[in-house]
Amino acid sequence: MNFLEFFVWGSWLISMGGYMIVTLGFTGMQVGSIYATMGIASLFMPALLGIVADRWVNAERLFGLCHLIGAGLLVWASTVTDYQTLYVIMLLNAMVYMPTIALNNTVSYAVLKKEGIDIIKVFPPIRVWGTVGFIAAMWTVDLAGWNLSAMQLYISAGSALLLGLYAFTIPACPPSRVTKQRTFLSSMGLDALVLFKSNRMIVFFTFAMLLGAALQITNTFGSTFLDDFKVTHPDTFGVKHPNLLLSISQISETLFILTIPFFLKRYGIKKVMLISIFAWMFRFGLFGIGNPGDGLYLLVLSMIIYGMAFDFFNISGSLFVQKEADPSIMASAQGLFMLMTNGIGAFIGGTLSGWVVDYFTVDGIRNWQNIWFTFAGYALVLAIIFPFVFKYKHNPDEVSVIQH
């Protein structure tokens, strides 16, 4: 289930930007806005369907139904070539796919708990198969030569159909019979707005949002960037197999997760977040000076650094929220963190990155060095401001919870 959940996403997330720009002729703003639909959907759909699963419909059935609808929408998207229609279809697809990320965890936890299996011990190795699925999808699309083709959407649709049908064979995960039912606002994380009484948490969530925007940038335009080298470096590995090169980022991500307990305990969230911000700066900067030819090692280094850039703000940030929030609002606090990063942050990143790409595009020629240096400058500004406005004193003894 975890493998297919992220295979569905990995089939198009990294490569569809190139398909829209090169094959369909969309502008940077149009591509960015379509990617931003995931941010819009993440603002409310996971919370809404979370309540449906909590109260009325078995989680595994809702999970399967979402994927079946998504499969149909992706097939429809593969036949569309105009921006307005594709935007609507991908928004609808985001509305049914983004909630399945949380439902995937809900179903996993419910089944493991029902079987009496230790969730803390067993689920992480299961979840790793999600990243494996994402990488496998990228490789499948790349090796088949479908990076700039609508076939990537058919692959995604096929895997969504398979997962949707498979979901109905999963052990039943009925609505929980709890006396206190979460409200829509609680599910969105708005119960946790009490955290904004702390200036430190205001700063933390603001920077989480801004780093969420950074994450969206390379998801949207990484493939397009490599494809534009087909004129100057036509026979290089990065141009022929952009998804294989970009997949190093996901491989790196799985490795850096293992280092988080060490870094958090030794350095604390402030330094770990600062490391993440500088990592984003180097991620973009290395893209700016690298190329698939003699600069391939710079691109590979950028992919490796991505793991640190992503994990040290996304995973570490989630653990920090867990430590800071009162147990009574734990779920809402995590919802608020996801809202700021995957919702508002993703929307801002998708929209503004498209504007930057268009600004540095003249007669269809994109100046990628200026584009990436602009993003690197954005990260540098965040790195300069963050240590002065985020007030936090690290106590290594408080991080023991992360070890368990």
Q: pLDDT tens across 37-61, in order? A: 999 998 888 888 888 887 889 999 9
**Tens of pLDDT, residues 315-347:** 888 878 878 877 767 666 777 888 888 889 999
Which H or E element spans position 361?
A: strand 361-362
* Lowest mean per-residue pLDDT among 222-231, 334-343, 394-403: 394-403
Percent of the chain with pLDDT over 90: 63
Which pLDDT belongs to residue 319?
79
Tell me how far the alpha carbon of residue 212 is from its chain's centroid. 8
Same fold, 1-172 and 188-404: yes
The reported pTM is 0.86
pLDDT value at position 401? 42
The CATH fold of domain 188-404 = Growth Hormone; Chain: A; (1.20.1250)
- Structural fold of domain 1-172: Growth Hormone; Chain: A; (1.20.1250)
Cα–Cα distance, 141 to 389 (Å, whole number):
43
DSSP 298: H
Q: Give the mean model confidence (pLDDT) for residues 158-163.
A: 98
Q: Provide the H-helix boundaries in 228-345.
A: 237-240, 242-256, 260-289, 296-324, 330-338
**pLDDT score of 216 more than 60:** yes
Per-residue pLDDT, averaged over 142-147, amounts to 96
Domain ranges of the chain: 1-172, 188-404
Q: 148 CB contacts (<8 Å, ≥6 apart)?
A: 15, 18, 19, 22, 23, 227
Span 18-47, average pLDDT: 94
